[in-house]
Structure 1
Amino acid sequence: MGTWDIGPFDNDTAADFSYTVDEAPAEQRADVLLAAFRAVTETGEDYLDADVAVEAVAAAALVAAQCPGGEPVTTAYGPDEPLPVLPLSLRPAAVTALDRVLGKDSELLELWSEGGEAGPWRAGVERLRAVLADAGAEEAA
């Protein structure tokens, strides 16, 4: 995986995922994001492949961008096409996926740890998770 920074779209796999999102019809883009979350959460206790985790982090960033307090995805490596308003049900799915990405047996977390950048990368993912969790709690209230 070619990686140039710690952001959700700062690697080749996430940039390719952006292309996948762009290629989906507008009404199916939420399904592409949900599939990325499910690919992570359906691994159960198995070792989580880094590429699968990267796609889930990128998908979570797209969902978080539509939440109060979320940051817009402005990188050239994110999707070119605007996303429709995403279903609120993606928020808890994103939180669950990020929990798995940050948990044990996550190759992506291991790679960041080996590279000595786990702290800053993890902080960014935890910020995404917080925005998504806070938005989900507001919706439930």
Structure 2
Amino acid sequence: MGTWDTGHFDNDSAADFSWKVDEAPEAEREAVLREVLTFAAETSDYLDSDDGAFAVAAAALVASQCPGGEAVTTAYGPKKPLPVLTPELRPLAVRALDGVLGENSELHELWDESGDKAWAAGIARLKEVLSAATG
């Protein structure tokens, strides 16, 4: 995994996901996010690091539209604007992040082995924003 920092888009997989979002027609961008969030939320198998990174990036995009969410301003995020996302993506994003933080997640395993706590703190912040916006 090509990773250069702990941010939600600071790895090759998330940057590739941003490109995929940008390449989708505007009306299909929400579906791109929903697909990766659903996969991470519902998989009972081992969640590989790419799928985990996609889910984190998608959750960050959903959270950016929530009260208290941070705008995605990194050069590695999508360049094209997202439509207003449906609120039903918020609890799905929380479940996806739970999958990323689960015991069957390669991404979590890699960050845990690194000893760097900033990544997990960033995920916790995303979950707080998404959970608060869910109600």
So what's the TM-score if we normalise by structure 2? 0.97
CA contact (8 A) 2:59 2:93 kept: yes
Q: In the TM superposition, what are the counterparts of 1:80-119 in structure 2 within 5 Å?
A: 80-117=79-116, 119=117
Runs of 4+ in 1 over 6 A off after TM superposition: none
Deviation of the 1:81 alpha carbon: 0.2
2:61 alignment counterpart: 62
- The one-letter amino acid of 1:78's match is G
Cα deviation, 1:11-50, whole Å, max 9, x if unaligned, reads 0000000000000011110000000111212312x21111
Percent pairwise identity: 62
1:124 alignment counterpart: 122
2:46 alignment counterpart: 47
What secondary structure sits across from 1:10 in the alignment? coil
Q: Which runs of 5+ in 1 are unaligned?
A: none
- The one-letter amino acid of 2:49's match is A
What secondary structure sits across from 2:15 in the alignment? helix
CA distance in 1, matches of 2:42, 2:23: 24
CA distance in 1, matches of 2:77, 2:115: 25
- The one-letter amino acid of 2:133's match is A
CA distance in 2, matches of 1:84, 1:38: 19
CA distance in 2, matches of 1:17, 1:50: 13
What secondary structure sits across from 2:70 in the alignment? coil
What value does the CA root-mean-square deviation take over the aligned residues?
Answer: 0.7
What secondary structure sits across from 2:79 in the alignment? coil
1:12 alignment counterpart: 12
Number of residue pairs the alignment of both structures matches: 135
Deviates more, 1:67-76 or 1:106-115: 106-115
- The one-letter amino acid of 2:20's match is T
1:22 alignment counterpart: 22
Cα deviation, 1:52-98, whole Å, max 9, x if unaligned, reads 01000000000000000000000000000011100111101100000
So what's the TM-score if we normalise by structure 1? 0.93
Q: Which runs of 5+ in 2 are unaligned?
A: none
